[in-house]
Structure 1
């Protein structure tokens, strides 16, 4: 049970990190990217291939993020002046191009044989008692940070912050906020208790869990500073109506390009962690479904809200594990039908959400850009 919850924590954190890059592109800037997995693929392969050449992991991750950002630059220079629907088509095409390259260029990526036996972070690390206690203390600080951020966002949604209160919520809306908040709080406490146990009985996965939680917290905090800066306000203005910042003398194309590149770099870092979680990567590991899972997380949690992305990842993986458990021993339907049914259920949930609360759980309705 402990090992499975560690896996669940790594997966939720990984997808949250991946979706934060997409949220920067779509939620804050309004750029439709249906090929987000391409950035993850580039980051993963460059990180592990450089590691096999003896390059330190931290440098490999940085170079993978730079390469993913360079891919964003290449796509952006050729496509960001296109209409939104054309940009979506281009990103899908680039994603498939990257997948075909890693699948067929065996001299570079080992093709369908996959890349195996590459160095892993904390692969041979064995902490003593003091080291284990230090890691548990660090996990405690991270948990306190997450609880503070979630509380701050839920308080804003409930109208306790007068500066952004706006219209008061209906009782049903308040009830839904409390419900999702309770789910998030339960998951966070489970992660903390289970993570503390896993770190005390240290294993590679436990170390990877702590590392990705640290990176996720740093990326989240950095993005939070950026989107509340003048740069972030320009991105929001571009999302709503790019003619207004253009009239104020802003270089719209440059801001879009920066957002696209930074979102790609974040996805590249997520790709490195994805490769470390799998410990062996194949071209089939980077399917288009990863992109649309990230879209589900962003839409569910609330586009344009980074805390909503974290909450969306928690709910998505909670749903995934719950439905796997419920349908695992079913005698009514087979495994392939179970997969289709799970996709249908989450599609139905999204349809209901788009009708009932189109801005997502933590999204702001006054900032909703869908349908404009």
Structure 2
């Protein structure tokens, strides 16, 4: 039971990393990125292939995953620079599906639907039964560092500029700001976090395949960020824990229901999850942690030379 809980908590940490990237791209910059599963897959495959086939140290595999997904994020942002709203969402969703189809069809590289197994993990053999605890702690340490990074970016002038672009990019452009540059930087950082999440996932589960990177992953992350508060890094973490609790809690509840087929139980789980999220959005439309409105302070003191 302990190993299972550690496994679930580690996957929640992976989801939190994805959520932090989405907060920066969507919550702060206003870019609707439905391609999270694609960056997640890219990071997983890049690190798995490099560390298994070359081989190279796992840490270098993670760095390679970060670099690759950041560069792909740069390219995708440049290609879609004139798109916004629904068009951008469709384009990024198509990108994720292209990545999945490449993983299915390029068997020479990805082993197709059979996937890649026996992916090395740090200290797995040495730690034995303690590996899950070690990886849980390491994953959440990475989440903590990523949280501090995203929080610092948001609180800095860079973050204020991102919110200006989100609220009205034309006004920001008229003010002389490089709107495209800010969008590119935010998308690159968010994509890199998704790639790192994929790398952590691959080395934890020791197996990846195309079926693990469906659009459902993106939906879960959007639900998590929306539930937690899509503009705040803490909201991504709280939302990831909340959604994972729903997913696993309904799984346990379904085991005690008799007289239903596996398909019916799966459908019932999705209904319960949807109902819980709808109720949350009705009660807390801004999420569990709504955006903090920053008010400019007014200096009410009069200058010394002001005439009376």
Fold-level match, TM-score > 0.5? yes
Q: Secondary structure at the match of 1:254?
A: helix
In structure 1, how many angstroms separate the alpha carbons of the residues matched to 2:90 and 2:20? 21
1:29 corresponds to: 29
Q: Secondary structure at the match of 1:124?
A: helix
1:163 corresponds to: none
In structure 1, how many angstroms separate the alpha carbons of the residues matched to 2:257 and 2:279? 26
2:176 corresponds to: 249
In structure 2, how many angstroms separate the alpha carbons of the residues matched to 1:345 and 1:20? 26
After TM superposition, the structure 1 = structure 2 runs for residues 165-314 of structure 1, keeping only pairs within 5 Å, are 203-314=130-241
In structure 2, how many angstroms separate the alpha carbons of the residues matched to 1:35 and 1:312? 19
In structure 1, how many angstroms separate the alpha carbons of the residues matched to 2:260 and 2:168? 48
**2:26 and 2:33 in contact (8 A); partners too:** yes
**What is the CA-CA distance between 1:224 and the residue it aligns to?**
0.7
2:103 corresponds to: 102
1:40 corresponds to: 40
After TM superposition, the structure 1 = structure 2 runs for residues 54-133 of structure 1, keeping only pairs within 5 Å, are 54-126=55-127
In structure 2, how many angstroms separate the alpha carbons of the residues matched to 1:114 and 1:84? 34
**2:43 and 2:69 in contact (8 A); partners too:** yes
**What is the CA-CA distance between 1:117 and the residue it aligns to?**
1.6
- State the Cα deviation string for residues 169-224 of structure 1 (Å, max 9, x = none): xxxxxxxxxxxxxxxxxxxxxxxxxxxxxxxx952211111110110110011111
**1:76 and 1:260 in contact (8 A); partners too:** yes
1:12 corresponds to: 12
- State the Cα deviation string for residues 13-64 of structure 1 (Å, max 9, x = none): 1111111111111011110011111001000001010001111111111111
**Aligned Cα root-mean-square deviation (Å):** 1.6
- State the Cα deviation string for residues 290-321 of structure 1 (Å, max 9, x = none): 00000000000001111111111111111222
**What is the CA-CA distance between 1:353 and the residue it aligns to?**
3.0
Residue-pair matches, total = 293
**What is the CA-CA distance between 1:350 and the residue it aligns to?**
2.6
- State the Cα deviation string for residues 121-141 of structure 1 (Å, max 9, x = none): 122334xxxxxxxxxxxxxxx
2:297 corresponds to: none
1:320 corresponds to: 247
**1:40 and 1:270 in contact (8 A); partners too:** yes
**1:122 and 1:208 in contact (8 A); partners too:** no
Q: Secondary structure at the match of 1:75?
A: helix
Q: Secondary structure at the match of 1:69?
A: helix
In structure 1, how many angstroms separate the alpha carbons of the residues matched to 2:82 and 2:157? 23
Q: Secondary structure at the match of 1:125?
A: helix
**1:359 and 1:365 in contact (8 A); partners too:** no
Structure 1 gaps of 5+ residues are 127-200, 368-372
In structure 2, how many angstroms separate the alpha carbons of the residues matched to 1:82 and 1:345? 35
Q: Secondary structure at the match of 1:267?
A: helix
Q: Secondary structure at the match of 2:116?
A: coil
**2:250 and 2:272 in contact (8 A); partners too:** no
Which of structure 1's runs of 4+ aligned residues deviate more than 6 A?
A: none
**What is the CA-CA distance between 1:83 and the residue it aligns to?**
2.3
Structure 2 gaps of 5+ residues are 295-308
**2:254 and 2:269 in contact (8 A); partners too:** no
- Give the structure-1-normalised TM-score: 0.76
